[in-house]
Amino acid sequence: MRSPIPEYMLEVLDDCRNTDGGTVADYIPELARANPERLAVAIATPEGALYSAGDDEVEFSIQSISKPFAYALALHDNGLEAVLAKIGVEPSGDAFNEISLEDETGRPRNPMINAGAIATHSLIHGGNWEERAERFRRRVSILADRELQFDEAVFESEMETAHRNLAIGYMLRTVGILENDPIDIVRGYIRQCSLTVTTRDLATMAATLANGGVQPQTGRRVFDDLTVRQVLSVMMTCGMYDAAGDWVTTVGIPAKSGVAGGVIGVLPGQVGIAAFSPRLDEHGNSTRGVKVFERLSTDMGMHLM
Ligand code: DON
């Protein structure tokens, strides 16, 4: 007998398809070429089941959804104390590309905004941008249970217009949060953001977080419990940027969005969810992706409160 879940998912996609508004990100020229009509959803369980519908095999760049996983890797490589010395855990209330440094320490407010993510990338073990990005790629591939690749066109394209991230990198270097060449670190961060995933990959990766750091299909432990707890806490308060309050009240689970249109959500112990649709709202979150999550949260009673 076929599971009824994919039919339900198709119904959700149909209901969310006509959500108006939003535009495809164009500050990275390569992203402006995305088909704005794409729409997908996937749900993965800690037991290893994976359900999906829509454009679930279409590949797109992970962008800011790389940030929680890079944060997990930085925690794994350095320990909590060393990471907290460089990056705070407070919501900034600002846009994702604000400089947002704390006054006294110069720390970026959290690892989900670009400033914090650039600092996070610098803490991943590796001698240069290529080694850090490669270490990130390998680790995330274990989470997705398939060999993920970088999108060279997206990487080159973002490097060409990376003025703001470079400015943030130089600012972080000035206050001593970055200890090495900011150009090398920003390059590695942008490479990290260019990793290519599908909606199914993202749901599987989210399910690993839901499962306390153990990959559901292989049973392999990738991150320890405390690392996952730290990552999910920061996703809960900072993952949707200056829309965090709206998100927590309407959807109510830890989440992270990316400018290519992906969104992940994690219901600890229960499911990892991903949605994808390239048009973005004013916060840089997928317009229809947010709708899909609102619908799923209501139907499935996912809200943690
Ligand atoms: O650094 C940037 O601007 C992009 N590589 C990632 C930004 C992003 O995905 C923001 N999320 N919605």
CB contact at 8 A, 30 and 154: yes
Residue from 112, 158, 185, 193 whose mutation best tests the ligand 1 pocket (most atoms within 8 A of CB)? 193
Binding residues for substrate: 64, 114, 158, 165, 189, 241, 259
Question: What are 68-85's pLDDT values in tens digits?
Answer: 999 999 999 999 999 999
20, pLDDT greater than 80: no
- Which of the following is catalytic: 259, 263, 266, 292? 259
Query: What confidence score (pLDDT) does residue 147 get?
Result: 98
Question: What are 103-115's pLDDT values in tens digits?
Answer: 888 999 999 999 9
Average pLDDT over residues 41-55: 97
Residues 183 and 212 in one domain: no
Residue from 259, 276, 277 whose mutation best tests the ligand 1 pocket (most atoms within 8 A of CB)? 259
139, pLDDT greater than 50: yes
In a domain, 86, yes or no: yes
Query: What confidence score (pLDDT) does residue 102 get?
Result: 86
Residues 221 and 267 in one domain: yes
Number of residues assigned to the chain: 305
In a domain, 40, yes or no: yes
1 pLDDT tier (thresholds 50, 70, 90): very low
Question: What are 207-264's pLDDT values in tens digits?
Answer: 999 999 999 999 999 999 999 999 999 999 999 888 888 999 999 999 999 999 999 9
In a domain, 181, yes or no: yes
Residues 73 and 189 in one domain: yes
Average pLDDT over residues 84-106: 90
User: Domain range for residue 289?
Assistant: 5-60+198-300
Residues 24 and 81 in one domain: no
| CA distances for 183 relative to 110, 121, 190, 254, 272, angstroms | 21, 12, 11, 31, 34
Residues 231 and 273 in one domain: yes
Residues 188 and 202 in one domain: no
In a domain, 177, yes or no: yes
Residue nearest to atom 12 of ligand 1 (CA): 258
Query: What confidence score (pLDDT) does residue 242 get?
Result: 85
In a domain, 305, yes or no: no
Residues 19 and 88 in one domain: no
Active site residue 64: yes
In a domain, 154, yes or no: yes
Q: What are phi and psi of 197, to 5 degrees?
A: -140, 165
Of all residues in the chain, the percent with pLDDT exceeding 70 is 99
Question: What are 255-302's pLDDT values in tens digits?
Answer: 999 999 999 999 999 999 999 999 999 999 999 999 999 999 999 999
99, pLDDT greater than 70: yes
Residues 78 and 144 in one domain: yes
Residues 187 and 166 in one domain: yes
Q: Among 135, 166, 193, where does a domain finish? A: 193
Q: How many domains does the chain have?
A: 2
Is the full-model pTM beyond 0.95?
Answer: yes
Residues 264 and 282 in one domain: yes
In a domain, 223, yes or no: yes
Residues 56 and 94 in one domain: no
Residues 12 and 109 in one domain: no
Q: What is the CATH number of the domain that holds 171?
A: 3.40.710.10
Burial (Cβ within 10 Å: 0-12, 13-18, ≥19) of residue 80: exposed
2, pLDDT greater than 60: no
Distance (Å) from CA 259 to ligand 1 centroid: 5
Q: Among 193, 217, 244, where does a domain finish? A: 193
ipTM above 0.90, yes or no: yes
**Shortest CA distance to 302 belongs to which of 239, 234, 244, 255?**
255
Q: Among 150, 169, 193, where does a domain finish? A: 193
**Shortest CA distance to 25 belongs to which of 61, 56, 54?**
61
In a domain, 158, yes or no: yes
